[in-house]
Structure 1
Amino acid sequence: MTKRKSSVDDLFHLQSVTNPQLSPNGNEAVFIKTHIDKEENKYISNLYHIDLRTDEVTQWTYGDHRVTSPKWSADGKQIAFLSNREEKNQLFLLSAKGGEAKKLTSFEKGVSSFEWSPCGTKIYFDAPVKEGKTFTDKEKKDEKKLPEPVRVTKMKYKADGVGLLPQDSYRQIGVIDIASGDVSQFTEGSYQHSLQAVSHDGKKMVIGVNRAENLDFEFRQPLYLVDVETKEETVIVDEIGYYGGARFSFDDHYVAFVGSDRTYQNATHGHLYVYDTRRGNRINLTESVDAPVGDYTVADHQQGASAPSVVWTKDNQLYFQLSTMGDVRLYFGTLEGELYPATPENEHVYGYDVNRDGDFALLAVSDLTHPGEIYKQTIATGERQALTSFNKQFLDEVELIQPEQIVFKGEKDWDVHGWLMKPYGYEEGKKYPLIVDIHGGPHAMFANTYFHEMQLLSAQGWGVLYINPRGSHGYNQQFVDAVRGDYGGGDFTDIMDAVDYVLAEEQWIDEQRLGVTGGSYGGFMTNWIVGHTDRFKAAVTQRSICNWISFFGVSDIGYYFSEWQIAADMKDVETLWKHSPLKYAENVKTPLLILHSEKDFRCPIEQAEQLYITLKSMGKETEFVRFPDADHNLSRTGKPNLRVERLNEITGWFEKYL
């Protein structure tokens, strides 16, 4: 059978398979499958079950809602999860024998996260609660209520994907008795608490909270070991930086967690730490590894994928993710400092769990031409067995293009890593356009994972080049830090060197038909490129930055991100302006399409408005498309119809000019 090429509508054929969770005895597992319903224009996810003795896969929840965060009770008889069946995420309970899920909470502001108590009779959770109110208090709905002004007194008063932050609401930790439904509040005070972990004996928990009065310039989350009975706190870590993902060892002697200090601000590598609860000291288990712990992948397929920061085995071995050279691999570690990769190269492990004995792991794995499924891997041998095949029909029908990995020497003799895709239907001897696609962040990375957008661009008959320039994660600390204070410098050089490299190596690329696109930082870089070279015949900038001066005050992160990344604030507008693509608008000769979301609070739409009006006033070839009801994450989690329109705009622009 002849396979077809990738299409925009593949968004509706792809299945996202995520979040494998092993039962305590290791004989069962649950996971989440998400698909996009075209008619309903929404994402739908449900809970699935695997019997690991028979490999039978069964759907356990139904409906047109979303399910997240499944967790087994300690005895393996129940699974709790969050679901937005009633708009806000609430806590539900399902028997491992099947049946209907029981709703446990009806909180006004929903539930943020939860952890089982080991006794199985109660569940700890954290959830927003209005000051002076309780979790269960209901606000009166008044349809005739008039709009009211909002008084802002803090600098952190809005957030992308959320909007204006409540000024009098705080996340508190509580506990619910499953049998009676009684809810009590564990923490108090006008602070944002996060529930991290509950010990296996039920006597301790780990919480995160910053109790500083003014959080505007507080970039840290201290972790505390708390006695459940007395509420006495012991500091685990209280340093500048964000720490979390805590997990107790099975004997409760250790707490593992991940985090990074601010040595290189937000470019600092994440590490895995272990705290000894008896001695009160901690060690950095990955200090010798010059790569970040965690998953820093940029892609557009997986929905709601989350992986544990760390998983313990009974003999105090640990498993965690590491981003390295475009891979996200599962790593194994011991308290003695041994560290080994547990999964192979050239793939993206975006979810995992490991059984208590350390015999096998459940992995959610994707690669460059596979959207991802759940696998069982024997730890000792590396042997794998596929447990799900939800994307089999898609893979049988669609011809996916295999990206070829490239490495070339950049400035300072650094290796720069990336991928080059030939166009669909490639024929030897013919010339084809090339699209350069630039990721956001900048401290993220393209990876050996399935990327629908890249396959779609190739399907149009274009080559695709995407690289990890300096500033990208997955490489050494010096490399990821090198972009700070040098936006438009060495990073621009890396991208242009990549173009020169593939032009010299590949005769099929038509250097007269080059296109460039990118979002967020990639949008900034697209704007920068067209203001500094006319090599590209078409460009599409998305959710971009063009003016660091205004960005400082309008972005939800601008007032500190600008200093971290550009090394300047409003006392040094000359430096901010020097790094602003808007300054170089007069040089632009490339037809530029500007795409931006109306509700983007990270890179607000005024950035696009400035760029469009400036270019238009100068007689440049440009158009501006605004996406309603969309935020900074349109390309990944936006409303499906808008994601389709975005892709159509990108391909339409390049088709017109290339």
Structure 2
Amino acid sequence: MDRNEKTYLSIEELLSIPTISGLNISEDGINVAFVKNTADWEDNTYRNHIWIYEKNKGVCYAFTTNGVEGTCPLWSPDSKHIAYLRSVGDGDKKNQIFVESIDGDGRVQMTDEIEGVSQFKWDPTGKGFYYVTQSRESEEIKKRSKTYGDFHHVGREYKNDCLWYVELKDSTRLDENVPYQLTDGRDFHIHEFNISHNGEKVVLMATASPDGEGGQNGELYILDRQSGELQKLSGDKLLGGNVCFSPHGNKICYSASIREKEYYKTHIMDSTLEIYDLMSGQRIQPLIDFDRTVTPICWTAKGILLMWQDKTNYLIGLLTEDGKLNMLSETTECCIMEASMTRDGNHLSYLKAAPNETFEVYLDNEKITNENGLFEGKLKSNREIISWNSSDNLEIEGVLTTPIDVDWNKKYPLLVFIHGGPAWASFPIHSSCFNEKYPVESFIEKGFIVLEPNYRGSSGYGNDFLMANYRNLGISDYQDVISGVDALVDRGIADKDRVGVMGWSQGGFISAFCSTYSDRFKATSVGGGITNWITNYVNTDLPSFIRMHVGNTPWNDKEIFAKSSPMTYIQSACTPTLIQHGEKDARVPVSNAYELYKGLRDMGVDTELVTFKGMGYSSEKPGIHRAIMKQNLMWFSHYILGESMDGFRVL
């Protein structure tokens, strides 16, 4: 095909790139299961299908078909059966555990929980399943509702996630699978759990409630399966990530903060790996000098499989018994987002994207999928890492996306796309799961270049870089962004008079700040962004996030909250601003969008507010994401390239 006949991926094609997750390798190292999430445009929904790769046959195929969907596939300990979650029921469907043999025969539904199953694991003996489901409404609440009507005591009444067990019987009848409860749901909400290899102990990471604030009070517990005794493990660190048993069941590992809990009430969290010896009660942090946050995946006979981010790369490695961390990635330039390893440590599967590619599944370092085939016959942008110094001389990196045949002597209109988080980053890869709102390939086709800055506070750059964002939200973020713009202008590749900025969540906040604080941008798009830190503090489901970054409450330090808020600078706003927001966003409530919209309108600034019904941070409808992308494409094409806005309101 001639170069001039090729096109970039359309918005629909970008959103049709499958998102792969739920990777799991069988214990014999022969088969791999994973989930492909794809857009069903006809029904305007996303479909989850389990795929299986059989090494002996050299084939990769869809295991769930004909209207059956599935997520979270897990191989049985003997590698002969696969269990997964499937949404069933009338009306409001809920996830239940199903199990069947690899040849697809004898499908058995194991649970019928009213609230569904949120997570589960095989009993290491293969005799049943441990699973988590929401506690049922108490008889007291039912009686109260019948007498007075429905109401809720905020901060007092919760439906906690509890641990249950169900035995796998030699039967296809659901009514013969009798589950029983292992933990009380009144003051015990389970976040993560794991089972020792011999099945004698269960480790639980739990809080008193599912309240986001309760996450700062997580504790570890050990459940003895024979006696039923639940023992709390003493400790004073913030906990996170997976929790794993050692092969002999005498130690556990997990992610934990470096300092004590109290410190993080008003400071950004830094974390590392922690190992707890169940016999001695000793806790050690073997990677305290490793300036990256690590997440344990599993503990094998050859060591602990870990994942960590190193700038714009995600890597995996094994921490051996002698304390040495051996990298398992073939290269240091890649993005590995999931990994699964056999207990003997002999076989490994992972999900990896190389630079300028999308994710593929690998088994023992051999690629077993071909998702990048979607780009065949298409033009594809080029993504590279650049760096510059911010106003305080802090080095900032970012991803610069250009046409494959970029003319470095030409000045291009520039769009700045800011990632959320802030403890996240932009990566030089193609992935719909990382970006479902901004059509980068369409921007390139229109003639733009795109910069994605990894501003201070982004993950993967070490604790000092993380802490550089502490009590610096807003103005320092702006300086990191605008210094990147200036660097490209100085290189002669960007036109300083044709620059736009966009982002969602934390990226939306920074975009809103750019819109009100500066006149450097010709157009802005604010997606799900905080516009007033004080009002967001009292409405968000996670005020602890704000205290960690701002260092205080608005009642004790109004000045820092005002200094960091885009609304403080609304009187100087002059940038045409598109505001997009999920109607049901709990983290950044939609009131933020209305406040910015009203302020801009009062200042006479061109603005549009679009709220998406039923949507939180993201949508379950690909059509909504298509509308978000098309609105952004039209907005920047109009205000920077001068194209028509006809049809904007009838997308």
Q: TM-score, normalised by structure 2?
A: 0.88
Q: Which residue of 2 aligns with 1:649?
A: 631
1:206-285 aligned at under 5 Å gives the runs 206-211=203-208, 219-236=216-233, 238-260=235-257, 262=261, 263-264=263-264, 267-285=268-286
Which amino acid in 1 is paired with 2:130?
Answer: Y
* Structure 1 residue 439 displacement after superposition: 1.2
| Distance in 2 between residues matched to 1:622 and 1:215, nearest whole Å | 33
Kindly provide the amino acid, as one letter, of the partner of residue 23 in structure 1: S
CA contact (8 A) 2:29 2:348 kept: no
The offset of 1:82, in angstroms, is: 1.0
Residue 579 of structure 2 corresponds to residue 597 of structure 1:
no
Q: Which of 469, 488, 498 is matched with 1:483 structurally?
A: 469
CA contact 2:205–2:243 (8 Å) conserved in 1: no
Map of 1:109 onto structure 2:
115
1:332 is displaced (CA, Å) by 1.9
* Structure-2 separation of matches of 1:368 and 1:17: 17
The counterpart of 1:336, out of the listed 309, 315, 322, is 322
Alignment of 1:250-649 (within 5 A): 250-260=247-257, 262=261, 263-264=263-264, 267-294=268-295, 309-315=296-302, 317-343=303-329, 344-377=331-364, 384-392=365-373, 394-423=374-403, 426-427=406-407, 429-452=409-432, 453=438, 454-505=440-491, 507-558=492-543, 560-571=544-555, 572-634=557-619, 638-649=620-631
- CA deviation after TM superposition for structure 1 residue 585, in Å: 0.9
Which segment drifts farther, 644-653 or 543-552? 543-552
Q: Distance in 1 between matches of 2:367 and 2:328?
A: 17
Pairwise CA distance, 1:391: 4.0
**Structure 1 residue 590: deviation in Å?**
1.2
Cα distance in 2 for residues equivalent to 1:218 and 1:196: 15
* Structure 1 residues 626 and 101: CA distance shift in structure 2, 3 A: same
In structure 1, C-alpha distance between the alignment counterparts of 2:315 and 2:485, rounded to whole Å: 29
Letter in 1 for 2:426: F
Q: Provide Cα deviations, 1:554-602, integer angstroms capped at 9, x if missing partner.
A: 11123x3332222332313333222211111111111111111111111
Q: Give, as a single letter, the amino acid of the residue that structure 2 aligns with 1:186.
A: L
Match of 1:152 in 2: 153
Kept in 2, the 8 Å contact 1:6–1:459? The answer is: no
The 1:147–1:543 alpha-carbon spacing in structure 2 relative to 1, beyond 3 Å, is farther
- Mean alpha-carbon deviation: is it higher for 320-329 or for 426-435? 426-435
Indicate conservation of the 8 Å contact 2:419/2:506, yes or no.
Answer: yes
Relative to 1, partners in 2 of residues 1:553 and 1:643: Cα closer, same or farther, differing over 3 Å? same
SS in 1 for 2:113: coil
C-alpha deviations, 1:57-108, integer Å up to 9, x for none?
Answer: 2321114464222112222222111121332111111113422532111111
Equivalent position to 2:60, from 57, 66, 77:
57
Shift of 1:424: 6.6
186, 198, 201: which is aligned to 1:190?
A: 186
Question: Identity of paired residues, percent?
Answer: 26
Partner of 1:14: 17
Q: Quote the Cα distance in structure 1 between the aligned partners of 2:608 and 2:208.
A: 47
Partners of 2:67 and 2:417 in 1: how far apart? 34
Which residue in the other structure is 1:380 paired with?
A: none
Does the Cα contact within 8 Å between 1:197 and 1:205 map onto a contact in 2? Answer: yes
Q: 1:412: Cα distance to partner?
A: 4.6
The Cα RMSD (Å) is: 2.7
1:539 and 1:592 in contact (8 A); partners too? yes
Q: Is the 8 A contact 1:19 1:364 kept in 2?
A: no
Distance 1:98 1:66, change over 3 A: closer
Aligned equivalents of 1:225, 1:18: Cα separation in 2 = 29
- The residue aligned with 2:167 is 177
Aligned residues: 613
Q: CA deviation at 1:242?
A: 2.4
Check the 8 A contact 2:158/2:209 in 1, yes or no: no
CA distance in 1 between counterparts of 2:604 and 2:68 reads: 48
Pairwise CA distance, 1:195: 5.1
Q: Deviations over 1:527-559 (max 9, x none)?
A: 11122221111111111111112112111123x
User: Matched residues in 1 for 2:506 and 2:212: separation?
Assistant: 26
Aligned to 1:78: 81
Partner of 2:32: 29
Alignment-mate amino acid for residue 39 of structure 2 = I
1:274 offset after TM fit, Å? 2.1
Shift of 1:481: 1.5
Q: CA deviation at 1:463?
A: 0.4
For the 8 Å contact 1:273–1:283, the answer to whether it is kept is: yes
Give unpaired runs (5+ residues) of structure 1.
Answer: 134-138, 156-166, 295-308, 378-383
DSSP-derived class of the 2:517 partner: coil
Letter matched to residue 32 of structure 2: A
Q: In structure 2, what is the Cα distance between the partners aligned to 1:363 and 1:425?
A: 32
Distance in 2 between the 1:491 and 1:276 partners? 42
Q: Structure 2, unaligned stretches of length 5 or more?
A: 170-175, 433-437, 641-651
